[in-house]
Amino acid sequence: MGLLSHGAPLSWDEAKLQADHVRKNGIEQFLSVYRKLKDRQNDFLKWGDEVEYFFVKLNDKEKAAKLSLNSTKYLEILNSEEEDPFTKEAIDSLWRPEYASYMIESTPGTPYGHDISNFLEVEESMMKRRRKIKAFLEDNEYLVTLTNFPRLGCRYCSDPPCEPYGPIAKSIFIPDEFINLHPRFETLTKSIRERRGSKVNISVPIFHDKFVVRPFREPLVSPDGVAERVAKPDTIYMDAMCFGMGCSCLQMTFQACSLSTARYLYDQLAVMSPIMLALSAGSPIYRGFLADVDCRWNVIAQSVDDRTEEELGQIPLANNKFVINKSRYDSIDCFISPGPFFKHAYNDLRLVKDDLVYNRLVTEGVDDLLAQHVAHLFIRDPLVVYKESLHQDNEAQSEHFENIQSTNWQTVRFKPPPPGSSIGWRVEFRPMEVQMSDFENAAYVVFVVLLTRVFLSFNLNLYLPISLIDENIQNAQKRDAVNSGLFHFRTILTAGSCGKETELMTLDKIINGEGDFLGLVPLIFIFLDSITIDLHTRFRILQYLSLISKRAKGELLTTAAYLRKFVTEHPDYKHDSVVSERINYDLVKMAVSVGEGEIIPELVGDCYKKNMCFKESREQNL
């Protein structure tokens, strides 16, 4: 979602003149928070989830599924509770806009606490949120948790139908009406396009079924002829931010007890990001074609890549610019915790940073690792600058800092406390793809939360060189990576490891263990055995862990594998990698049913059985 300020955004030509002002004051705002709160201790371990939804309309007569562009209407209804002084204290869910006008984001009304019983509240909260929105929907309108709408960008894929090539995105596929009305999103779209000097250019490898011609080259026509020039053979071409930021995900935010704990969690969760991306894979279809990938990550990275030819290294540098090796949306470039497990050799990428920012931070007492992290974020320009927010009190506000921070979309995000609030140092975990059911989404959330408890309780060391994490991120997105992929991972997860630090492992080994390597799920069981936990809570947690364990083993399909199978086994499928309107209708209708409680054995197996006894559940997971 990012920073949702209100006001009149400057045009890109106006905003770029204020870039240095925003960066300079953003650093002063960070320093103000750092000076005041760097020694803050003993905050509660709080956490919460973010689920993103699509609105769709099903036309049963015509067998068509369309995106419903009604998010603004429903946000006004849902947010009225927050504005009502008689109801705001009892709110059990919060609702925020997302990039697309067919999307909405939800979080629990208040964060979950450190008590183990809070794990039972996650799925219940997700179900309540789904029911709350359902009460407002129009006839034939539904809510789905799919990572990507399969025919996004196909002609007339919305209800009402809209024409592409508007003045904001200038896309030959995506109408401007798909962009949320909040000024942040329109301005982001235009600023990225104008800063880079062209539309974004997204390429995804096509899945070569037996009737897909090699090389695949789709005939594309646009008013300016650009599509024909930039579309690459054997790829699905997309040209708008909506193709990436119009995807839904499942995110989590953790409040740590201190700054040092937040930095440790940031580093360890960064290593886990590719693993959880592969395990949650849920997006094998783009623009009505089966793709040869299972995840959204590179699509979003390309969809917001605002780097100029200079920053890409294609022409000589000028005007104090940098050659930047990644998009704004990508994996992290450096670890930030100076703890005992960290080695400088792990930060093995060439880190581009703003030296003026770095020197200012170090002069004020910020250590090298944190200073270079912030100085690296601040090589980017602010993309959305509000006229009303240009001049701020740097001791009481942080919007200039958040302007840069919130448009660096990385696998994990380190989040300083907002000025004047009771909120502590936080870490946001961002890689996971949303699942079709609340049970699945709750399972992934609970698994990651339990991992953070294991990290802190057992003082684990997951460090890898950043370059290996980058390899893992790319491997995680490949088709069927959960079964065929190999991932760099530490062979020993304790502090005093020696000998060979890393090896290539299957996800099954990483999650479930093999030989002398214990695995993450067995470590969680050891943690659970060390605490007091009631039988009901333990039983539900074991169901969640069973889902994660079996997907890692390949005994259950990932969402991506199931959707791919659904398409290829559909009676209308022609083995040409085309997802037709009818296939799309049946797929979306299935996703609606799953979200409303239908059990798909290939997705959840017997993990959801309520009569499965504790002993059987434990044995299955071990």
Q: For the residues of 192-233, what is the DSSP string, one character each?
A: HHHHHTS---EEEEBP--TTS-SS-------TTSHHHHHPPT
Percentage of the chain beyond pLDDT 70 is 94
Quote the strand ranges of 69-173, DSSP E.
93-97, 103-108, 141-144, 158-159
pLDDT, averaged across the chain: 93
Of the given ranges (221-235, 370-384, 523-537), which has the lowest mean pLDDT? 221-235
Structure tokens at 497: 């490891």
The whole-number pLDDT of residue 497 equals 55
Least confident of 20-24, 76-80, 241-245: 76-80
Phi-psi region of 532 (alpha: psi -120 to 50; beta: other; left: phi over 0): beta
Q: Per-residue pLDDT tens for 266-297? A: 999 999 999 999 999 999 999 999 999 999 99
What is residue 87's predicted lDDT score, i.e. its pLDDT?
64
pTM exceeds 0.85: yes
**Phi, psi for residue 514 in degrees, rounded to 5:** -165, 130
Q: Is the pLDDT of residue 336 over 50?
A: yes
The stretch 323-336 carries a mean pLDDT of: 97
pLDDT band at 344, cuts 50/70/90? very high
The answer to whether the CB of 50 falls within 8 A of the CB of 107 is: yes
Burial class (CB in 10 A: 0-12, 13-18, 19+), 14: exposed
Asked whether residue 181 carries a pLDDT value surpassing 60, the answer given is yes
Separation of alpha carbons 592 and 141, rounded Å: 10
The whole-number pLDDT of residue 219 equals 80
pLDDT tops 60 at residue 614: no
Residue 7's pLDDT band (boundaries 50, 70, 90)?
Answer: confident
- Higher-confidence residue of 428 and 91: namely 428
User: How far does the chain reach from its first CA to its final CA, in angstroms?
Assistant: 38
User: Cα 39 from chain centroid?
Assistant: 30
Q: State mean pLDDT over 578-596.
A: 98
The reported pLDDT for the residue numbered 337 is: 98
Average pLDDT, integer, range 428-452: 98
In this predicted model, what pLDDT tens digit does every residue of 71-99 receive, in sequence order? 999 999 999 888 877 666 678 999 999 99
Whether residue 574 contacts residue 209, with contact meaning beta carbons closer than 8 Å, is answered with: no
Token readout for 102 is: 């067919």
pLDDT at 613 over 80: no
| Residue 4 pLDDT > 70 | no
Q: Average of pLDDT values for 323-345?
A: 96
The mean per-residue pLDDT over the stretch 205-228 comes to 85
pLDDT over threshold 50, residue 612: no
Residues 538, 528, 559, 101, CA torsion sign:
positive
Q: What is the pLDDT of residue 616?
A: 39
Model confidence at 610: pLDDT above 80: no
Note the pLDDT of residue 207: 98
Tokens 């005093």 belong to residue? 496
pLDDT at site 496: 55
User: If you average pLDDT over residues 355-369, what whole number do you get?
Assistant: 97
